[in-house]
Amino acid sequence: MKIGVIAGSFRQGSYSVMLAKAIMKELKTECEVQFVEIKDLPHFNQDFESGETPQAVLDFRTVIQGCDGFVFVTPEYNRSYPGVLKNALDTASRPSGQDLWAHKPAAVVGVSPGRLAALAAVLAFRQPLSFLNVRLYSESELCLGGFANAVDENGEIKDETVKGLIVDFAADFIAFSKKL
């Protein structure tokens, strides 16, 4: 089984990327894992369906098609998820009838330096995923607030409780995905 991990932020020092890498370490114990890069995707344009499709879009669709499931790691921007994640969903769900996300297991994880742990972003991101017929994993939510205190200067998880939550989440998501 191959799991694609997508981070909704790619700034220098991104908590989403730090958490994505920590989750990937745990997922690698039982499956193949790929960090799926979205920073070079152009804004979705329906003209891609009938005209010349940029190579970045074709490459992204190939990567998504090759994954059996996904973990999305989202920050929270203005009580929602970032547009780059929506752009990724749109890019791989079109043209109509060629949705590459459909029927694959996926989990949405939230991370934030604040106390609300990106919960609003996680809940909002589930809406387009459910429309795309993604098999949403929701038994063991992982929304981590105060994340700046959980990592060291190298972006490694130093908080043992957070480490335990990540280990449990990864094991549960793998079990869920194998059932499908």
Q: How far is CA 168 from the centre of its chain?
A: 17
115 Cβ contact partners less than 8 Å away, ≥ 6 residues apart: 145, 146
pLDDT, mean over the chain: 95
Domains delineated in the chain: 2-179 (3.40.50.360)
User: Which amino acid appears at position 43 of this protein?
Assistant: H
Q: Is 37 exposed, middle or buried (0-12, 13-18, 19+ CB in 10 A)?
A: middle
**pLDDT tens for each residue of the chain, 180 residues long:** 999 999 999 999 999 999 999 999 999 999 999 999 999 999 999 998 887 899 999 999 999 999 999 999 999 999 999 999 999 999 999 988 899 999 999 999 999 998 888 999 999 999 999 999 999 998 878 999 999 999 999 999 999 999 999 999 999 999 999 998
Is the four-CA dihedral 91, 65, 126, 142 of positive or negative sign?
negative
| Count of C-beta atoms within a 10 Å radius of residue 54 | 15
Q: What is the pLDDT of residues 96-113, one digit of tens each?
A: 889 999 999 999 999 999
DSSP single-letter state for residue 37: -
Q: What is the pLDDT of residues 67-88, one digit of tens each?
A: 999 999 999 999 999 999 999 9
Q: Is 122 exposed, middle or buried (0-12, 13-18, 19+ CB in 10 A)?
A: buried
93 token code pair: 């769900």
pTM for this prediction: 0.96
DSSP single-letter state for residue 133: T
Decide: helix, strand or coil at residue 9: coil
d(CA 71, CA 23) in angstroms, rounded, equals 9
